[in-house]
């Protein structure tokens, strides 16, 4: 096959991929744009005061004017989110292996983990700041607390969903417990893990902001608190917009990691459709 023939053969595939991306993202873009257009129109036509409900255009303007202060307060939030979530992923993976290996450990720890998820953030965040101070540690702890449980449950369920016939086949070939776990149980748990990862990442930024809101020197949480106390809803919403952007970016990053680690998951989903 010549170079031109190969390029021609790739064109339909590229066109299909482009149309798939458009079909995936266009509805979301249109719906978000419609919301902001309605919001802007309502503020302009109703004459409502900017101190009550600022228009999106005003929020963007204030974001530009206060970009340095917003950036200085975004960096600590990003740092706390990434470190806390990394600790959460490591903790969930290690605990899931132990819980899968020892049933008694699962029975002992799972009720404790469930209770930890019933604690309201608005109540536990000030206590964690009170116990561990205003530094980075309480933010890491709170992010880990609110994000590790969905990943832990997803991994344990993924291990349990392993095809028993595959395990018996590997055992009949002389594979040990760890080999079976590595070759059968971990691949079985990957779809569950990435599902839990996407759920958890949506809580990570919120957990860091709650910890900063309860007490911090810098961060989006303390920025939101100061803007609220100064009756600046435009700056509050600017920080909220940055928080939402961070969450969406981290969510997209998990999709890229999944595509890199387990590219066959997307293929299996497409085949099922």
Q: Does residue 181 belong to any structural domain of this protein?
A: yes
Q: Does residue 8 belong to any structural domain of this protein?
A: no
Q: Does residue 193 belong to any structural domain of this protein?
A: yes
Query: Tens digit of pLDDT for each residue in 89-130?
Result: 999 999 999 988 888 888 888 888 888 888 787 888 888 888
Query: Which pair of tokens denotes residue 270?
Result: 């497409």
Query: Which pair of tokens denotes residue 68?
Result: 């340095």
Tokens 């291990």, located at residue? 159
Q: Does residue 29 belong to any structural domain of this protein?
A: no
Tokens 């004017």, located at residue? 65
Domain that holds residue 75: 55-261
Q: Does residue 158 belong to any structural domain of this protein?
A: yes
Query: Tens digit of pLDDT for each residue in 222-266?
Result: 999 999 999 999 999 999 999 999 999 999 899 888 888 877 776
* pTM metric for this prediction: 0.81
Q: Does residue 111 belong to any structural domain of this protein?
A: yes
Q: Which of 105, 82, 120, 205 is nearest to 152 (CA)?
A: 105
């Amino acid at each position: 096959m010549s170079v031109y023939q190969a390029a021609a053969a790739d064109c339909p595939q590229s066109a299909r991929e482009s149309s798939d991306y458009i079909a995936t993202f266009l509805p979301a873009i249109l719906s978000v744009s419609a919301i902001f257009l309605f919001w802007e129109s309502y503020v302009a036509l109703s004459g409502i005061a900017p101190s009550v409900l600022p228009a999106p255009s005003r929020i963007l303007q204030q974001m530009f004017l206060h970009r340095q202060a917003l950036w200085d307060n975004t960096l600590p939030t990003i740092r706390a989110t990434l470190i806390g979530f990394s600790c959460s992923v490591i903790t969930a993976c290690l605990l899931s292996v132990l819980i899968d290996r020892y049933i008694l450990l699962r029975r002992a720890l799972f009720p404790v983990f469930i209770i930890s998820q019933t604690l309201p953030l608005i109540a536990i965040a000030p206590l964690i700041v009170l116990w561990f101070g205003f530094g980075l540690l309480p933010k890491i702890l709170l992010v880990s607390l609110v994000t590790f449980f969905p990943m832990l449950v997803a991994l344990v369920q993924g291990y349990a969903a392993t095809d028993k016939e595959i395990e018996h086949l590997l055992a009949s070939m002389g594979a040990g417990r760890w080999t079976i776990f590595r070759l059968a149980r971990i691949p079985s748990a990957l779809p569950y893990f990435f599902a839990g990862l996407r759920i958890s990442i949506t809580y990570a930024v919120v957990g860091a902001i709650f910890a900063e809101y309860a007490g911090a020197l810098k961060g989006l949480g303390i920025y939101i608190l100061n803007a609220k106390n100064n009756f600046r809803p435009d700056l509050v919403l600017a920080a909220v917009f940055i928080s939402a952007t961070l969450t969406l970016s981290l969510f997209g990053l998990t999709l890229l990691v999944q595509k890199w680690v387990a590219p066959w998951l997307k293929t299996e989903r497409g085949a099922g459709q």
